[in-house]
Amino acid sequence: MMLRLVYPALVCALLYGCKSHTVIDRHQEIPVAMESGDSIVLLGRSTRLAESGDHDFVDCVGNALETRNANLDVVEENEFVDAMYPWFESTTAPTEVSMLEPLFNNDAITERFEELAIKYLIWIEGRTETLESIGGITCSIGPGGGGCFGYKSWDDEADYVAAIWDIDQQADAARIGTRTNGTSYMPAVIIPIPLLARAKHTACDAMAGQIADYLSMPK
């Protein structure tokens, strides 16, 4: 009876595979003004990213940006935070662009921004979570061997927002949001076969594409 249920699910999963859908929301306030030698830094909003364990999303976006544009100088988050210590620690970092002005009254902070040639500071926040899971897989071992049988699927949602701050103008330059919904499948006949939607990776690629597009816009 179990095989009768699993084989149709396996055939369906292999034929149609995992599926995902991404929605992009982008608002631009200030035209891009990147010059040769300028750099950007991507930072994770600790208030939400720490809760969800998604700090690797920031690294993913940074790596994807550098892959898309080898000439783009992306300052590592840890390098930036260490250079700016203690003003950009999780408990002291500005949460609104209006909080930059008093920071730049400090000559030490201004000098460090100039040394790193940072034109845009990009805050990223969000999370990936599983919304729904159905089915199940049972594994057993006996004298004749062992195996797993069953079928499981689940829906993931990756929802992230990037706020781009223009350091020179100390203003919001743009805001980009990506939301990816993906359904993954795992049929099991002897061994589980994961067919993953990779919602977070898809959201990362979409976010990097939108940021790269903004930074490459004509002035």
- d(Cα 154, Cα 134) in Å, to the nearest integer? 6
Instruction: Encode pLDDT of 156-191 as tens digits.
Output: 999 999 999 999 998 999 999 999 998 888 888 888
- d(Cα 154, Cα 156) in Å, to the nearest integer? 7
Band (pLDDT 50/70/90 cuts) for residue 216 is: confident
- d(Cα 11, Cα 135) in Å, to the nearest integer? 16
Band (pLDDT 50/70/90 cuts) for residue 18 is: low
Residue-level pLDDT at 10: 46
Residue-level pLDDT at 7: 43
Residue closest to 65 by CA, chosen among 218, 219, 207: 207
Residue closest to 86 by CA, chosen among 66, 70, 106: 106
Q: Is the pTM of this model over 0.75?
A: yes
Mean pLDDT of 206-213: 93
- d(Cα 30, Cα 66) in Å, to the nearest integer? 23
Q: How many percent of the chain have pLDDT more than 70?
A: 86
More confident residue, 90 or 57: 57
Beta bridge partners of 4: none
Mean pLDDT of 28-56: 75
Residue 210 token pair: 């939108």
Instruction: Encode pLDDT of 115-163 as tens digits.
Output: 999 999 999 999 888 888 888 888 888 787 788 888 888 899 999 999 9
Question: 148 near 192, Cβ under 8 Å?
Answer: yes
